[in-house]
Chains A and B, each alone.
Chain A
């Protein structure tokens, strides 16, 4: 650990950070999407005639909630495959 080069530490961090980002970024939207589905199903069973309105609203809401997870995924992919910091530190031939 004492002889670790700074480049190795940064490389290690850029591998660990996407994992943490994906865990947290997948956790929160899925919990909230579950809550949204729960409430929508509740409403659909209470009022089946409103099911169509509820379904379209639910799909839009879930897509909007899902997009935060997608932003996390994009950041994680950039860190893993197109990392600008790593390319400057470790000039690959």
Chain B
């Protein structure tokens, strides 16, 4: 079980840095390198990703979706690669640590506020907090952030725990099946996270304007 729990690797200016953070750095370098390579060799792949994100956004958000595509697309790519990065040897899955999904969910929360300010202005944003149902809204913001975090973290951690238990039982061959299943779950969770982020942003942006 020890290999599932994130370990502290070193301290940077007194701040403990876990192995998941180092793995995230390696992953970010890998993704940036891959995107630069793909842009030179086959730019149509990148256009397909942008189209996919645009379709995903346009099924939730009314009006032009181009302001939201950079945010949703980077969220999709980051979580997709973060979920799948544990396949490679030596590195660990970044989303295995609860802090990574929590950071993503907080980014979604802040982005929904930022998009609300951008669309409706600061007054419109303040007006969403001037209703009698503010406590319920605050509970909603908290619980949707918690549910986004725990869903991603629990899915990835569940896969990792099952694989590590299987490795301790039958080390050869059999864990590969569960690794495959966990990878499918990881792809699906990246999609679901992005879809839910899009729907939260859509509800925040289009809510009080009516």
Contacts and interface: CB of A to CB of B under 8 A. Distances in A.
A32 interface: no
Query: Quick one: which of A59, A60, A63, A71 has the most chain B CB within 10 A?
Result: A63
A48 to B, nearest CB: 19
Contact of B1 (A63, A73, A81): A81
- Classify chain B: how many residues form its interface, as a range: 10 to 19
Contacts of B1: 81
B163 to A, nearest CB: 14
A11 interface: no
A77 B96 CA distance: 14
A35 interface: no
B interface: dominant SS? helix
B91 interface: no
Contacts of B196: 60, 63
Interface residues of A, number: 12
B195 A74 contact: no
B195 A73 contact: no
A interface: dominant SS? helix
B59 to A, nearest CB: 7
A56 B188 CA distance: 11
A70 B148 CA distance: 11
28 contacts: A56-B195, A59-B188, A59-B191, A59-B192, A60-B199, A63-B151, A63-B189, A63-B196, A66-B151, A67-B147, A67-B150, A67-B151, A67-B154, A70-B150, A70-B151, A70-B154, A70-B158, A71-B150, A71-B154, A73-B154, A73-B157, A73-B158, A74-B150, A74-B153, A74-B154, A74-B157, A77-B158, A77-B161
Given A59-B191, A63-B188, A70-B150, 18 more contacts: A59-B188, A60-B192, A60-B199, A63-B192, A63-B196, A67-B147, A70-B151, A70-B155, A70-B158, A71-B150, A71-B154, A73-B154, A73-B157, A74-B150, A74-B153, A74-B154, A77-B161, A81-B1
